[in-house]
Chain A
């Protein structure tokens, strides 16, 4: 039997909008994944510490506050500092198209915007983890 994919869903900074991330959490759970939810108002340090301790396959950061270009560089720097090379990092939420291009250059594997259907999120995460291989 395949192991459930482990995902940390995180909300960072002064962003109180968690309806979307909770819907995604449920969708992933119903697709058979183990989902750790961080709760609101976490710092990049808290998110990365949790992701490393939980050893998740996927770190998903939900952002509706426009701070993606500040948050993701910090997250990648912290992951590097902790010696984690094989974590899939994805972003979700509402953000400008130009940022999406920049985020992908930075190492974000996929950016799922507000109009992404739930099953597409499941498919994307499954594909990314399969491509990564055993760890």
Chain B
């Protein structure tokens, strides 16, 4: 079968051709060296779409929320791409990606594109190539891109450095007000959503979050995160949520938006550099680590000394000893 060069795919992505979009995403995810220049070109062309990050604990209803939101957004005529991230097994490296199941209602809509990704060892709630994937979908012409993280714990906050609007989903019944004032994931929300508001204990969660926000200092953008109760079951609160997202998108038109975009770019640079460093460090680790591990397990050395030596090997500093 003929291999379509990535450079050729870029033009086809711009025309919104599904096959080309899907294939270039695969190559970005696989880190194919041949595709790197094409993905660089994609980055330069991107920047039109509004990226909404959706995060929350496992089972809080993120995928269900995404499903109903996409339907509502589509009704306005906008096109939407969804990137849904699920965890890879720490043992086999494999994964089961099941977020699509909850988005069946919109699956056949040509204005909707859904792609599942596995974390493949990335921490922070995202997958390594997720941001490249967002750019590809942006260039393909989607108006909104919804980036759904894996179910996260309390401090996987990377999504906030990658999206224009960050939505944190809390489910009722998962903790008291002490959970709400802890540092971490709740701090990154531009919009708070309390899901499953058809349940009677949802009011308590709504109140806890509102109290927490009342005590918080306003951010430099002047934006105060609203708390929206939703129920996908009863179609409750979804319009309010969309309206809040649209308001936040508008609030980013000015200097606050420029600051946000620069922040996202800086994060992107740091992440990419990290990836490149790791890529070069890994083969070195493979050759040096068995020896070092033996010394460490026998307590003949310590982790700092060995890591220092390894990094020195990498940077060439050891040569000057």
Chain A residues in the interface with B (C-beta under 8 A): 3-4, 6, 25-26, 28-39, 42, 45-46, 49-50, 52-55, 82-86, 132-135
Per-residue CB contact flags for chain B residues 12-34 toward chain A (1 = under 8 Å, else 0) read 00000011001101100110000
Residues in B234-284 with C-beta less than 8 Å from chain A = none
- The answer for the CA separation of A84 and B93 in the assembled complex, in Å, is 27
Assess whether B97 is interfacial by the CB under 8 Å rule.
yes
B23, B89, B97: the one contacting A30 at CB < 8 Å is B89
Assess whether B107 is interfacial by the CB under 8 Å rule.
yes
Instruction: Count B-side interface residues using an 8 Å CB cutoff.
Output: 31
Binds A, one of B114-122, B147-155, B313-321: B114-122
Binds A, one of B54-62, B98-106, B197-205, B220-228: B98-106
With known contacts A46-B108, A134-B3, A29–B98 Cβ distance under 8 A? no
B94, B104, B114, B116: the one contacting A31 at CB < 8 Å is B94
Residues in chain A near residue B107, CB distance under 8 A: 46, 49-50
User: Does B93 lie within 8 Å of A32, measured CB to CB?
Assistant: yes
Q: What 4 A-B pairs have minimum CB-CB distances, sorted nearest first? A: A55-B22, A39-B101, A29-B94, A86-B1
User: Does B108 lie within 8 Å of A82, measured CB to CB?
Assistant: no
Q: Distance in Å from the Cβ of B116 to the closest Cβ of chain A?
A: 5
Residues in chain B near residue A86, CB distance under 8 A: 1
B23, B96, B98: the one contacting A55 at CB < 8 Å is B23
With known contacts A45-B108, A85-B1, A35–B92 Cβ distance under 8 A? no
Residues in chain B near residue A42, CB distance under 8 A: 104
Q: Distance in Å from the Cβ of A60 to the closest Cβ of chain B?
A: 13
Residues in chain B near residue A32, CB distance under 8 A: 89, 92-94
User: Does A53 lie within 8 Å of B115, measured CB to CB?
Assistant: yes
User: Does A4 lie within 8 Å of B94, measured CB to CB?
Assistant: yes
Q: Distance in Å from the Cβ of B104 to the closest Cβ of chain A?
A: 6
Assess whether B95 is interfacial by the CB under 8 Å rule.
yes
Residues in chain B near residue A37, CB distance under 8 A: 96-98, 100-101
Assess whether B144 is interfacial by the CB under 8 Å rule.
no
- The answer for the CA separation of A34 and B116 in the assembled complex, in Å, is 10
- The answer for the CA separation of A36 and B96 in the assembled complex, in Å, is 6
8 more A-B residue pairs beyond the given contacts A35-B95, A50-B107, A53-B113, with a C-beta to C-beta distance below 8 A: A4-B120, A34-B88, A36-B97, A52-B22, A53-B22, A54-B100, A85-B1, A135-B23
A3, A34, A133: the one contacting B97 at CB < 8 Å is A34
Residues in chain A near residue B120, CB distance under 8 A: 4
B3, B19, B116: the one contacting A82 at CB < 8 Å is B19
User: Does A52 lie within 8 Å of B94, measured CB to CB?
Assistant: no
- The answer for the CA separation of A68 and B96 in the assembled complex, in Å, is 25
- The answer for the CA separation of A40 and B3 in the assembled complex, in Å, is 34
